[in-house]
Amino acid sequence: MRRAQEDFEEFVVAALPGLLRFGVVLTGDRHRADDLVQTALVKTMRRWRSIDHEQPVAYVRRVMVNTHVSWWRRGRGESLLPAGFDVAARGDAESTYDDQDQLARGLAALPPRQRAVVVLRYYAGLSEAEIAETLGCAPGTVKSQAAKAMRTLRAVLGAPDGTPANYVEAGT
């Protein structure tokens, strides 16, 4: 029992910065992200001995996405992005503040499930199959949610309808 607790503590120390960044991008708010990560880690801690330790970050991300969608459904709050929101990862010197602000506004326009698909695909770099497993849905659902999200992002970001998806993905 003591070893499991030590393993979990080591995991949290190593994974926390990435989980917080993922939470901020997912929720659009640092404070909600803190709450979301804390809630997900508590849920994970309770099941730590029974989860797949080959991919514990994937497990926590799934808990985060499911919890975020659940909060949204219950009306716990809108995902409004604070002024100065920064989605750039450390060392991302090429992203400009304007690009980040534009991307943040686009993400804020998406419903939670579509935002989760976009964040998992383009921020976390997961495949469609991995996203489907994380969200507990079919790969076709991931594809349709991604297509709807990209249409919304193109509209919000002012990209013409015929613009390739990488226009939005690159934040240009």
Q: What is the pLDDT along the chain (172 residues), one digit of tens a residue?
A: 678 788 889 999 999 999 999 998 888 888 889 999 999 999 999 888 888 778 899 889 989 988 988 877 766 544 444 444 444 444 454 555 566 667 777 888 888 888 888 888 887 888 898 888 888 889 999 999 999 998 888 888 776 554 544 444 443 3
- Residue that terminates a domain, selected from 78, 105, 137: 78
Among candidate residues 67, 83, 74, the one with its CA nearest the CA of residue 34: 67
The C-alpha angle with vertex 112 and arms to 170 and 35, in degrees rounded to 5, equals 100
Which run of H or of E encompasses 4? Answer: helix 2-27
- Residue that terminates a domain, selected from 18, 52, 78: 78
Flag whether 83 is in a domain: no
Confidence at residue 164, expressed as pLDDT on a 0 to 100 scale: 44
Among candidate residues 125, 76, 132, 79, the one with its CA nearest the CA of residue 106: 79
Confidence at residue 133, expressed as pLDDT on a 0 to 100 scale: 84
How many angstroms separate the CA atoms of 57 and 68, rounded?
16
Phi, psi of 165 (to 5 degrees): -60, -30
Which run of H or of E encompasses 30? Answer: helix 30-47
Q: Number of folded domains in the chain?
A: 2
Range of the structural domain that residue 140 is part of: 96-172
Flag whether 84 is in a domain: no
Flag whether 35 is in a domain: yes
Flag whether 129 is in a domain: yes
